[in-house]
């Protein structure tokens, strides 16, 4: 009741032991509250409990909104399968180390490795046109430069693609594997400092698991987040909340990132990464269900630092 007494005095009631009632000097805005307290409409001793309950509710909401990195993935060769990493060292202005470092260009594609320029993905082998690529599992060792390709659990290629001979071996494999789909003899290409990204900026892609689950609800089927070939998978935010971060900065373990844009999805996401079959039209499902073709966001790294699976993402 001590809180109640202080509340009464704050509103203009006389101190304890003096004449009670609602003094005329109380400001009009406070008189209504004072009258209600005086008449028993509001019990002052309940206020601490209500404050505590409200604080606990807010704390629960904050805990529920904790955003975690659940997976880190790089795609050393554009269009090929990804590799899951526990942690990565990021550099300002660049994507994940070795992400989209290499690409398989069509025989008809002209690319100058000495003066590399961004080119649309239609110049390269890609899942959007070459779903057979999903039959392969690939790994790249950054230290040795060795690149391995497996098909059906069996290794079919092992070559050092940081050297011309190794790149030629890989190119020959894809020429036989894809046949006419390759539009001439494919070439495995690399250019110092160049990233074969779908967008001009060197950035990383972030996928919200809750948004994928919401798409599953509309599609009425399970969808592996791997379809969206993101660098970071996150859990915690509500579905599609990540779109609200565009134009803002986010932070992961001290690394600041500027969210550039939403990611517009192409037919590559319609390819099942396990069966290598086109089993659902993802862009069409997004459009019908949500009125857009987007899944995930692009973000630019603003400062150097290391991030790991399990790190918090802060808005």
CATH no. for residue 272? 2.40.33.20
Task: Report the pLDDT value the prediction gives residue 48, as an integer from 0 to 100.
Answer: 43
Instruction: State mean pLDDT over 93-105.
Output: 97
Residue 30 has pLDDT above 50, yes or no: no
Residues 133 and 7 in one domain: no
Residues 192 and 224 in one domain: yes
Domain boundary among 15, 45, 63: 63
Residues 113 and 168 in one domain: yes
- More reliable by pLDDT, 180 or 209: 209
Domain of residue 147 covers: 68-314
Instruction: State mean pLDDT over 126-139.
Output: 95
Domain boundary among 63, 93, 116: 63
Task: Report the pLDDT value the prediction gives residue 158, as an integer from 0 to 100.
Answer: 98
The least confident of 5-19, 47-61, 140-154, 176-190 is: 5-19
65 pLDDT band, cuts 50/70/90, is: low
- Strands 305-308 and 294-301, by their bridges, are unpaired
Which two three-digit tokens encode residue 39? 């008449």
Closest by CA position to 181, among listed 285, 279, 108: 108
DSSP-derived 3-state class of residue 192: coil
Which two three-digit tokens encode residue 22? 């609602």
Instruction: Give pTM, 2 decimals.
Output: 0.79
Instruction: State mean pLDDT over 191-204.
Output: 95
Domain boundary among 63, 80, 96: 63
Residues 250 and 187 in one domain: yes
Strand order through the sheet with 204-208: 83-85, 68-74, 232-235, 204-208, 294-301, 255-264, 249-252, 313-314
Instruction: State mean pLDDT over 47-56.
Output: 49
Task: Report the pLDDT value the prediction gives residue 18, as an integer from 0 to 100.
Answer: 44
Task: Report the pLDDT value the prediction gives residue 3, as an integer from 0 to 100.
Answer: 42
Place of tokens 């069996």: 154
How many structural domains is the chain composed of?
Answer: 2
Which two three-digit tokens encode residue 78? 């554009």
């Amino acid at each position: 009741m001590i809180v109640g007494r202080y509340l009464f005095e704050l509103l203009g009631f006389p101190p304890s032991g003096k004449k009670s009632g609602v003094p005329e000097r109380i400001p009009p805005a406070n008189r209504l509250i004072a009258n209600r307290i005086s008449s028993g409409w509001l019990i002052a001793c309940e206020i601490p409990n209500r404050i505590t309950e409200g604080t606990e509710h807010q704390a629960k909401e904050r805990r529920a909104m904790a955003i975690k990195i659940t997976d880190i993935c790089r795609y050393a060769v554009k269009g090929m399968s990804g590799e899951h990493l526990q942690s990565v060292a990021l550099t300002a202005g660049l994507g994940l180390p070795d992400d989209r470092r290499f690409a398989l260009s069509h025989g008809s594609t002209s690319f100058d490795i000495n003066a590399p320029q961004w080119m649309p993905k239609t110049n390269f082998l890609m899942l959007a046109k070459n779903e057979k690529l999903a039959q392969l599992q690939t790994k790249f060792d950054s230290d040795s430069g060795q690149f391995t390709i497996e098909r059906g659990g069996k290794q079919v290629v092992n070559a050092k693609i940081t050297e011309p001979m190794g790149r030629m071996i890989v190119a020959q494999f894809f020429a036989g594997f894809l046949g006419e789909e390759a539009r001439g003899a494919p070439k495995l290409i690399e250019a110092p400092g160049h990233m074969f990204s779908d967008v001009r900026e060197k950035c990383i892609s972030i996928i919200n698991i809750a948004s994928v689950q919401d798409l599953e609800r509309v599609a009425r089927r399970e969808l592996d987040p791997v379809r969206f070939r993101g660098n970071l998978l996150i859990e915690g935010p509500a579905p599609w909340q990540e779109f609200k971060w565009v134009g803002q900065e986010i932070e992961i373990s001290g690394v600041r990132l500027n969210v550039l844009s939403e990611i517009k999805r192409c037919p590559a996401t319609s390819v099942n990464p396990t069966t290598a079959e086109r089993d659902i039209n993802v862009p069409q499902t997004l459009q019908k269900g949500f009125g857009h073709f987007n899944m995930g966001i692009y973000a630019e790294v603003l400062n150097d630092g290391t991030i790991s699976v399990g790190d918090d993402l802060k808005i």
